[in-house]
Amino acid sequence: MSRKDVTTLLVLRAYRDTQVHRCEALVSITGECEKVCFRAIEREHDRGMIDYGMSLGNGWLTMAGLSELKRLDAIEARSPPPHTADTPTASAPDASPPPSVR
């Protein structure tokens, strides 16, 4: 269990997608304990990504947080899906022999 396992993207999405109890949402998404999730929220506050009035868990995304979320979402959208052993690769040999060239 480590704060680094609760990524910036997860924290920012929790603030975008849920209205209250962001820490609880992170706990259910990540499986990490509440303390780890709260420390990840504090990390993003320290970076200027989120701000709050009375309670850190009920804060909002700053302009920097909105920009970072947009950037991270775009990077994730461009990323290819992770390779698995069941998925054939482009370099896998084809079942049919190549056509002969004359």
Domain ranges of the chain: 3-77
Any bridge partners for residue 61, and if so which? 50
From the centroid of its chain, how far is CA 93? 35
Q: Encode the chain (102 residues) as per-residue pLDDT tens digits.
A: 677 789 999 999 999 998 878 999 999 999 999 999 999 999 999 999 999 989 888 899 999 999 999 999 998 888 876 665 555 555 555 555 556 665
Task: Report whether CATH 2.40.30.10 matches the domain 3-77.
Answer: no
For 40-60, the pLDDT digits (tens) are 999 999 999 999 989 888 899
Q: Record the pTM.
A: 0.72
Q: Count of CB atoms within 10 A of residue 68's CB? A: 19
